[in-house]
Each structure stands twice: as C-alpha cells, then as structure tokens.
Amino acid sequence: MTNSTSESRVWFITGCSTGFGRELAKAVLARGERVVTTARDVEQVQDFEQSGPELARAFRLDVTDLAEVSEAVDHALDAFGRIDVLVNNAGYGSMGAIEEVYEEEIRRQFEVNVFGVLNVTRTVLPHMREMRSGHVVNISSVGGFVGMPGFGIYNGTKFAVEGISEALAQEVEPLGIRVTIVEPGAFRTDWAGRSLAAAPAIDDYKETVGQTREYIANENGNQQDDPRLAARAIITAVEAAETPLSSFSARTPWREYARSSPR
C-alpha cells in the first residue's frame, strides 16, 4: 500500500450490502485504500461514501444485467481511473433437493452465481490487460469442491466458478493478472438466513435433504467464523508476492492469512 491516496489500490467489490463484501470494503477503507462498493440496492452501500469521494464510491449493480455492469465499471474508471482488485462476491445460496428446486430458481441461481461472475470479470479484464496488472478474487465456497445433499444446484454454480477461475488464472498470468479463489465454510453472514432461497420440501427426501435443512437452521447465526477475519485474509492474499490459487479455503490454512494480515 502506498501513502498517497491517489496512488493507492482501487478495489471493485460486488455484493457489499452485507457479509464478506461489506466487511472487506470496510477493511480496505480502514487501510486508506480506495473502494467501489456495489449492491442491487445502492442505498445499502451509500454510507461508504461518507469516507469521501476520493476514497469510496457506491453504485447500483445487478450482476445479471450486463448494461448495469458496464455502467458501474465505467463509473469506477471515471472516478478513480483504474481497477486494481476485482472481488466477485455477489451471490447467494439455494437449498433443496435437485428435484425440489423450481426451474426458475435453478436458472436464477446460475444467472447470479456464474453468469454474474462472468459478466463483471469479462467487463473489467480489458482494463486490467491494458495495465498489465490486476487481481481477480472470486468468492466460491467449500461447496465448490464438495457436494452436499440439498445444495446440488448451489454446488453446481460454485463448481463452475472453480473451473472458470482455474482456466482464467492460466490465461491471464502472462499478462500480469492474478486470480484467487476464496472457498469459505461456515461464517456468520446472511448466507444461511435471509439470503438463502429454500425450496418446498418433498417428504421422500427427509432422510437426506431434511437433515441438511435442520443443520442449516441450527447453524444460522452460530457459525464459528467471523467475516472480518475473512476480509483480513483476502487482503493478505492479495498483498502476498505469491499465493496458491485457492488461497483461503478449507483446503489451505486461511486462518494463517487472517492472523498475518495487517490490522
């Protein structure tokens, strides 16, 4: 991080109304870096602009709307002239057996969690290629490499994000652009509560998906991990000279990143 605000990194973060996105934006600002916060309801992120227009901007963004994506990225470039770190955080969970989830919900889940990531990434990449630098952080999940009854549709979206990210990392490495996959487990966010879309239950699945439903209901609000630690871990991964592709996950010691991150 540089001392001059005009030279500090610019972060573009999707889904900043709650959870990881909001905590990460707060941590970035606390370090004197610049941030573009986005959400479908811009009123939920406008408080970030109290830090001053030279540090934070807030824009409406539905990642499934390519026109809005292009507009938000253009606004960010007009405001700060660059995007150094893109964090694809916008997304949500869908719970239900494969048969239980309505077709409309299946398509919506993929539109947000997969095509939304592609929309924003493909819009930002030309600017990063021009700079020959940048960092793309894609928020996946433990569900991106382990399937679980009741989360098959969600698993499908996150498995897709994993494959896209792994290929992207190889494509852009020679261009000076890095890619990091974030694979969190149970954190105290809205993911298992307000943000979770639960399909109507079919009785025949009570021995499998029913147990998942019960587990999630009991877990909500009692998860072990604090999203503020995740924010610090992500910042440390971005700052590191070298990080594994999946640098913050159940497969790697992400808590070491959190502990070593500057407060």
Place of tokens 């630098």: 133
For residue 74, the domain's CATH number is: 3.40.50.720
What's the confidence (pLDDT) of residue 47? 93
Total count of domains within the chain:
1
101-154 per-position pLDDT tens digit: 999 999 999 999 999 999 999 999 999 999 999 999 999 987 788 888 998 999
CA distance 44 to 49: 11
Name the residues annotated as catalytic: 140, 154, 158
The dihedral built from the CA positions of residue 14, 19, 20 and 26, taken in this order, carries a sign that is positive
165-186 per-position pLDDT tens digit: 999 999 999 999 999 998 875 5
Measure CA 201 to chain center: 29
CA distance 84 to 204: 49
Express as a percent the part of the chain with pLDDT over 90: 61
**Domain interval for residue 230:** 5-260
Kindly write down the DSSP assignment for every residue of 114-174, as one continuous string. IIHHHHHHHHHHHHHHHHT-EEEEEE--GGGTS--TT-HHHHHHHHHHHHHHHHHHHHHGG
Of the candidates 3, 7, 30, 10, which has an alpha carbon nearest to the alpha carbon of residue 228? 30
48-57 per-position pLDDT tens digit: 999 899 999 9
